[in-house]
Structure 1
Amino acid sequence: MNVSSSGLPTSVALLGTGPMGAPIARNIIARAVPLTLWNRTVHRAEAIAGGRVAASPAEAASEVVLTVLPDLPQVAALLHGEDGLLAGWKTAGIEHPILVIHGTVSPVAIAEFAAECRRAHGVTVIDAPLSGGTIGAEEGRLSTMIGGPRAVVEQLEPLFRLYSATVVWFGDTGAGSTVKACNQIVVAATVTALSEAMALASSTGLDLEKVQSVLSGGLANSEVLRQKGQRWIDADFEGGGSAKNQLKDLGFISEVATQAGLTLPVAGSLLTAFQAMVSAGRGDLDHTGIYLGLRG
């Protein structure tokens, strides 16, 4: 991997310029790192000033490719075909590409995917899920939890630091996604607990803004409350981190727990609650919208 005098890679692409990918791209570009962008909806990539927009994943193929996509199947779909990354890496003469997966994926599936990519194509896969939400991405203070070959991760750390406040390596590919599963138990539980608190407060006629001011001043304070508190006050649950993605993550947690021989009662209850929310047709709402089911 070629690096600049500052230790940053000189050949980087970012695929997926959605709510998380776009601010990550802007933070990278702000540090004068040349960045190639690709997005299935091209105008979202074109809206990011300073990047070079590629017409296909093949054209975006770089030594380091960051993907910010919902799940592993979306990443795998970018590999093959004349417009895929594998063809692009071959055309560019890149023999040892690095594929970074920033989405939240199954720890079991990504370990298998990484082994296959390495064996069949010489591609090193790094799983590096993120926490901090869109605000954390905008502010460049994400938490990045990483699995993959340590030497490669050390080379990538200066790049991750452009949009992350916390960067921690945990082990082989899949370890980062296992840590993200731990993170998502806490996130889903906090979102649900706050929704229950807001439902109780609202149903008894309390002022939600005043209730939140008390919660934020004590042990009940959290990043979820800071970032999402206004949603309950305004009853606005459009956009944001969707309930269907929260349900996807909870499914991964169940998978890892089963593999580890664990029974996780809170995670199990959360899985049931978010299944009900998605089944009620609210899967595209922010996960704080679980409040709506509590209110009846």
Structure 2
Amino acid sequence: MTTPTPGQPELPGALRSVALLGTGPMGAPIARNILKHGVPLTLWNRTPEKARAIDGGTFAASPADAARDIVLTVLPDLPQLEALLHGDDGLLHGWKAAGIEHPILVVHGTVSPVAVAQFADDCQRNWGVAVVDAPLSGGTIGAEEGRLSIMVGGALDAVERVKPVFELYSSTVMWFGETGAGSTVKACNQIVVAATVTALAEAMVLADTAGLDLEKVQAVLAGGLANSEVLAQKGRRWIDRDFKDGGSAKNQLKDLRFIAEVAGHSGLRLPLAACLQNSFENMVAAGDGDLDHTGIYRTIRS
């Protein structure tokens, strides 16, 4: 238990035992925001230097050492998370050794709604672990500024326990139902994001081919109905032709495949999502999968 600083209130129970696994482009700023609020945080990353680099955190040498009442994971997909559960270095062993009987495992990555619902059922039934799927929207800028939107699915009692943690790095936290519901909302979000990125890229290709000044074009778009958070955060990439880092095209494609999976599970046909998936498949096939998804500009132009 953390001793409060004299004159400061004692931390609520949910904030006394928190770990974060995955200190990449999204996980690191989330960790910094948690620590900024004076909350003790245990950190683990597959590349240890990335976890050690976050000032104020407690470094864990293994997932077992990072087993806390609430474990936040910011990982690309479920297989990477499942790999951290078992063995002497795994979370399950760590929770048992620490005497934590009802841990909460938060999935902040964008994962299959169908797969995470099954994963949550297995974790609860076999080990008493409550899984909360809580995908994020807002990008790395939103993470840095502590204004992420979190779409939440899971048992309501578990969600209420973890909500004070979420509020340290988000501006919106919304519960939608059982585990998998949050990831379904994220699928809806990603249709809009992928469509907006692709539409803006097409507009930039058209404008550039016509010899127009892209900064002026974007200023006009930003002043009307075509304005968007994507344009605000990413518009400069098309002007500078800088598509390095950021949210990768291969992750965008992964999300679009999850959308196709959940749509098929519901018997739906989503023609725009299918078209977007085809476009990003072409981008990845061309060797641009590690570029920011705004790099779809290159695929369109070619």
| Partners of 1:65 and 1:99 within 8 A in 2 | yes
Q: State the one-letter code of the partner of 1:243.
A: A
Q: After the TM superposition, which residues 1-296 of structure 1 pair with which residues of structure 2 at under 5 Å, given as runs?
A: 5-6=11-12, 8-296=14-302
Which structure 2 residue ranges, 5 or more long, are not aligned? 3-9
TM-score (ref. length: structure 1): 0.98
Determine helix, strand or coil for the equivalent of 1:13: strand
CA drift of 1:182 comes to 0.2
TM-score (ref. length: structure 2): 0.96
Question: 1:225-248, CA deviations, whole angstroms, 9 ceiling, x for partnerless residues?
Answer: 000000000000010000000000
| Partners of 1:17 and 1:38 within 8 A in 2 | yes
Q: State the one-letter code of the partner of 1:155.
A: R
Tell me how far apart the structure 1 counterparts of residues 231 and 13 of structure 2 sit (CA, whole Å). Answer: 37
Q: Report sequence identity in percent.
A: 72
Q: CA RMSD in A?
A: 1.4
Moved more, 7-16 or 119-128: 7-16
CA drift of 1:293 comes to 1.2
Tell me how far apart the structure 2 counterparts of residues 122 and 67 of structure 1 sit (CA, whole Å). Answer: 18
Tell me how far apart the structure 2 counterparts of residues 212 and 44 of structure 1 sit (CA, whole Å). Answer: 36
CA drift of 1:189 comes to 0.1
Which portions of structure 1, spanning 4 or more consecutive aligned residues, are displaced by more than 3 angstroms?
4-8
Change (3 A) 1:91 1:7: closer
CA drift of 1:52 comes to 0.2
Q: State the one-letter code of the partner of 2:293.
A: H
CA drift of 1:5 comes to 4.4
Q: State the one-letter code of the partner of 2:249.
A: A
Q: State the one-letter code of the partner of 1:35.
A: L
Q: How many residues matched?
A: 296
Change (3 A) 1:267 1:24: same
CA drift of 1:44 comes to 0.5
Determine helix, strand or coil for the equivalent of 2:100: coil
CA drift of 1:8 comes to 4.0
Which structure 1 residue ranges, 5 or more long, are not aligned? none
